């Protein structure tokens, strides 16, 4: 069981939980919260994230990106803890379960959700699979920002309200930036091993200094988003308190900017996931408490 906990990478799961929480809170604020849709959206997001993590574990091993000298946490396929074929089959199972969870949302909200669900699942698979994996081309942060940001928040809101607005779309920017920050730390930590196997992440393409600045930008961008949303809505002022996460993360930012050692960067990755979850909780509570 411990091997499977390692495989699903629980420290990354806030990226799936946060946008669903925010989208559902905004739907509640507009008097349209729909619990079955919120639950299905959460299950689908979590299963896509887990399926992606398992797929990455398998394909990174097959492509040689995960080796014995890797600096990050143990990867179960590379370490021989779980047979590669089993990891791949369970990844496929989670993607199928995500599709099943999405089927209710598709039935409820139509073709737009079908397109979103298919795109999210396909992107999760192609992140490390296929002849031109997205993660190996340096497109990881872009797709993470899109699918764990505006798409996830907007999609969660839409399946409950059958509507969309600019405040919801912009609200998705912050969880997208913080999710990208998680990936930026991961790629910064793995820059040397990724370079050796030709995995051209943004950190590999543009160097360690760029990756550090990318992380800082993502934290700062997420910090100012609540104030931009307040300018749009002129309402729900309490959600701006979520910006305190940017100040709380100063220590994590300092770690990312000043170290190249694996253990502090692994800790920074986990801390960034916690900042993302805390941000989404404060934002959601602030939005709900200020609802009319």
pLDDT tens-digit series, residues 56-80? 999 888 877 666 666 667 788 887 8
Average pLDDT over residues 231-250: 93
Question: For the chain, what is the largest distance between any 2 Cα atoms, rounded to a whole number of angstroms?
Answer: 56
Tell whether 257 is covered by a domain: yes
The predicted pLDDT at position 70 comes to 65
Share of the chain above pLDDT 90, in %: 75
* 261: CB partners within 8 A, 6+ apart: none
Average pLDDT over residues 165-176: 96
Tell whether 6 is covered by a domain: no
Estimate the crossing angle of helix 150-161 against helix 14-29, to 10 degrees. 40
Tell whether 163 is covered by a domain: yes
Give residue 279's domain range: 16-289
- Residue 106, pLDDT > 70, answer yes
What's the structural domain count of the chain? Answer: 1
The predicted pLDDT at position 162 comes to 96
- Residue 116, pLDDT > 70, answer yes
* Per-residue pLDDT tens digits for 193-216: 888 888 899 999 999 999 999 999
Tell whether 4 is covered by a domain: no
pTM over 0.75: yes
* 95: CB partners within 8 A, 6+ apart: 47, 48, 51, 55, 121, 124, 125
Tell whether 10 is covered by a domain: no
Tell whether 41 is covered by a domain: yes
The predicted pLDDT at position 67 comes to 65
Average pLDDT over residues 115-144: 90
């Amino acid at each position: 069981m411990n091997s499977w906990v390692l495989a699903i990478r629980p420290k990354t799961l806030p990226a799936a939980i946060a946008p669903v929480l925010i989208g559902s809170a905004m739907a509640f604020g507009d008097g349209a919260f729909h619990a079955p849709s919120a639950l299905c959206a959460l299950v689908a997001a979590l299963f896509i994230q887990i399926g992606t993590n398992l797929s990455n574990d398998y394909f990174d091993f097959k492509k040689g990106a995960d080796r014995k000298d890797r600096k990050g946490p143990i990867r179960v396929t590379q370490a021989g803890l779980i047979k590669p074929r089993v990891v791949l089959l369970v990844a496929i199972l989670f993607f199928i379960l995500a599709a099943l969870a999405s089927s209710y949302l598709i039935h409820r909200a139509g073709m737009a959700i079908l397109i979103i669900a298919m795109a999210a699942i396909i992107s999760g698979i192609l992140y490390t699979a296929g002849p031109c994996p997205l993660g190996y081309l340096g497109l990881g942060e872009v797709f993470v920002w899109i699918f764990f940001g505006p798409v996830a928040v907007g999609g969660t809101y839409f399946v409950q309200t059958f509507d969309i607005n600019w405040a919801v779309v912009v609200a998705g920017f912050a969880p997208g930036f913080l999710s990208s920050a998680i990936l930026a730390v991961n790629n910064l930590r793995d820059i040397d091993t990724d370079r050796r196997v030709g995995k051209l992440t943004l950190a590999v393409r543009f160097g360690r200094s760029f990756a550090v600045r990318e992380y800082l930008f993502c934290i700062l961008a997420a910090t100012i988003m609540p104030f931009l949303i307040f300018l749009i809505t002129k309402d729900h002022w309490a959600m701006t308190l979520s910006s305190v996460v940017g100040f709380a993360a100063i220590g994590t930012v300092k770690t990312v900017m000043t170290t190249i050692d694996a253990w502090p960067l692994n800790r920074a990755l986990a801390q960034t996931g916690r900042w993302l979850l805390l941000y989404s909780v404060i934002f959601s509570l602030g939005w709900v408490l200020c609802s009319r």
